[in-house]
Structure 1
Amino acid sequence: MLLWACAGVPLGAYNIASNFNIALQIQPQILTVLSLITWIQCYHYDDKWGVLRCCAFVGCIGAIFGGVEVGLVFALKAAQREDRHWPVTLMGVVSTVLLSAGVLRHYWDIYVHRTVRGISFIFVGIDAAGDVFSLVSVFFQPTLDVLGMVIYATEFVLWCGVFACGGYFNLAPWIRQKVRSRRQRREETSIDLAPGQGEGDDGVDIANDVNLRQVPSSTSVFRTPSSVLSERMLHQSSRQDD
């Protein structure tokens, strides 16, 4: 957060010296203020600093940052009047490096722990969306500023990389775990049903066995009425002979 707060100083000076629109001139100031507030809260909650101490400390840092930015704006304007543009370019490069460093520290944490932790994906999405809107705003400036687009595009690409790492290290294992647990539940259900199915099969076999025992033999199954009549006549004739 302190890196982003520091990045707001050269970024604000660059945007003002480049005559960007009011929104882009105010955006770095908001970045610095919010970053300082978030940064000082770490001392308040972790190191148990008092509220007055935190306010005094962050107020002094904010005043220093504001004074430095005002001085940079006047210096850059003076350099532009003398047709020197490298100081403005330098401010753009410095702000890009500081903004990128603030995001790259998360890449190191991801590399070490093999997971995305300590950062909210909602915050990442909001910040990335802000970079997109800033890119659109720079694109529609009267004069296209390539370095201005590089500043916001670099941070946007880095945030997209954090999203990709979150999908690989966080989302994909979560999906695999869900699929694995669902598969295990199905296997347990099939195992529980297997004994009941076996008993049912045995019952069917027993019933079939009983039915087969009740069925007459093949000699009676294939007897026709004519064969029965002929047998009766043969039996009567044998009696008469006797």
Structure 2
Amino acid sequence: MQDGHPIASTVLGLIGTICWCIQLIPQIYYNWARKSTDGLPASMMMIWAVSGIPFGVYAIIQNLNIPLQVQPQIFMALALTSWGQCKRYAGSWKRPTSAIVSLALLLLFGGLEAMLILTLRPVYNRGVHYPMTIVGVIAAVLLAAGLIPPYFEIAKRRGRVVGINFVFLAVDWFGAFFSLMSLIAQNEFDVLAGIMYIICMTLETGIFGCQAVWLATHWRQWREERREKGENGGKELEDAGSVVVVDDEKTVGAGSTASLSIREGEATQTKP
């Protein structure tokens, strides 16, 4: 036993926490590498960041195992980092602005969480438990709500998933799975926390399913896109202000007003 919880529960919770500590890192890197968050809703990341407040309050006051208490804080920080990227790449914010606002929100959310813990813990210790039930329900609703916006993006693209990194999605799914197993291994299963993880797993499975169906019905289109990308050397045209390399020979410098069109692996330059 550790902290009143079976060792198996703590170990499983630790695995889940590790997954949720790194889950958004592939997505954050994916956003940075593409310099784009097209298809990744900023609202998803903000809702997830806000969900970390009640999720953290619930985990700490309910005295879940230590890894599960740490988990919401890291989840909140990574979600705000990704949200800042969305505002920078899609909202045209400057880098300092997105960084400062994201950090300020993190401090604000952390302060709100601490205030709620200090306020609700004495009430909970006196045997009044319904406020914590409300907090747990709010956390579950927000966690689920964060996974709803991607479905609107998927619908706009007729079932295709764009902008969401599947490594991130898989790690997130396994984080929820191991956290759920940790709760099952505890002396007493926490129903609300379990519902939060089950909702997360179910909605993420749906996103995987949407992409699988799209690939099954648009296999030729996907294969053609991969072929064309391969013919272009895996390089994509960047926005104005960057250097574009075509066939590793022809370049268009920053600030050029020329436009490029590529046909059958050859580059032609057309003056506007």
TM-score (norm 2): 0.61
Is 1:3 equivalent to 2:34 in the alignment?
Answer: no
Is 1:149 equivalent to 2:194 in the alignment?
Answer: yes
Query: Pairwise mapping of residues 1-242 of structure 1 onto structure 2 (< 5 A)?
Result: 1-114=45-158, 115-169=160-214, 171-175=215-219
**CA–CA distance in 1 between the matches of 2:222 and 2:84?**
39
Higher mean C-alpha displacement, 106-115 vs 16-25: 106-115
Could you tell me how far 1:145 is from its partner in structure 2?
Answer: 0.7
Could you tell me how far 1:51 is from its partner in structure 2?
Answer: 3.4
Specify the code of the residue in structure 2 equivalent to 1:78: P
RMSD value, Cα: 2.0
Specify the code of the residue in structure 2 equivalent to 1:35: A
**CA–CA distance in 1 between the matches of 2:222 and 2:96?**
48
Which structure carries more helix by proportion? 1
Which structure carries more strand by proportion? 2
Aligned position for 2:270: none
**1:64-106 CA distance string (max 9 Å, x none):** 1011100111222122122111111111111111111111111
| 2:164 counterpart SS class | coil
Could you tell me how far 1:176 is from its partner in structure 2?
Answer: 6.0
Q: Which has the higher contact order (CA 8 A, sep 6+)?
A: 2
Higher mean C-alpha displacement, 35-44 vs 155-164: 35-44
Percent identity over paired residues: 38
Could you tell me how far 1:150 is from its partner in structure 2?
Answer: 0.6
Specify the code of the residue in structure 1 equivalent to 2:191: V
Specify the code of the residue in structure 2 equivalent to 1:25: Q
Runs of 5+ consecutive residues of structure 1 not aligned to the other structure: 180-242
Could you tell me how far 1:55 is from its partner in structure 2?
Answer: 2.7
**CA–CA distance in 2 between the matches of 1:93 and 1:127?**
21
Could you tell me how far 1:177 is from its partner in structure 2?
Answer: 6.2
